[in-house]
Amino acid sequence: MPMPMPAAALVPLLSLLAAPVAQAQDRPLVLVPEDPVIAWSPCPAVFPRGCELAVLRGDPARPGADVLLRVAAGQTLPNHSHTSAERMMLAAGRLAVTYRGAAEATLTPGTYAYGPAGLAHRATCVSATPCVLFIAFDGAVDATAVEGGLD
């Protein structure tokens, strides 16, 4: 059964994620994952310690935010889902992703992936270096733990 992160706990986290980079809404923006202007913050509590998020553009509490997700080498993000669809492209590392009912796929830099809203999945950074994933959310940024397998 899904274990949602309480909305009251998510609001302060989302306000922390609204970093200065995200404030430049109507100006061109060009960044690389190592750019010092990117403000990394811990991921929601549904994910293990060491996972980090950075808002590149938009407000994570509203539809349409662009974020970077950084996962430590060897780290697994356990089964979870999002209320929003997500469009992703891996920027660094190698990330093994499994969606419920689908075969595992290993993303390499430049690989595009789409995750439908509500579909449970997990990811493991299988490279010796951190994985950095660009994610464009259709809705608000959230994550809900999902118990059980993905079969």
By DSSP bridging, strand 112-115 and strand 144-145 are unpaired
- Residue 149's pLDDT is 79
Q: What is the pLDDT along the chain (151 residues), one digit of tens a residue?
A: 444 444 333 333 343 344 445 455 578 888 888 888 899 999 988 999 999 999 999 999 999 999 999 999 999 999 999 999 999 999 999 999 999 999 999 999 999 999 999 999 999 999 999 999 999 999 999 999 998 878 7
- 3-24+36-145: CATH topology: Jelly Rolls (2.60.120)
Global pTM reads 0.81
| Residue 77 CB-half CA count within 13 A | 32
Chain centre to alpha carbon of residue 47: 10
Tell me the two tokens of residue 93: 């590392």
Structure tokens that stand for 32 in this block:
């690389």
- pLDDT the model gives residue 6: 40
> Which of 150, 135, 124 minimizes the C-alpha distance to 50?
124
Q: What is the DSSP letter of 78?
A: E
Asked if residues 136 and 87 have their Cβ atoms less than 8 Å apart, the reply is yes
Provide the CA 25 distance to its chain's centre, in angstroms: 20
CA distance 104 to 76: 14
The span from the CA of 68 to the CA of 52, in Å, is 8
pLDDT value of position 25: 58
The rounded distance, in Å, linking the Cα atoms of 71 and 136 is: 17
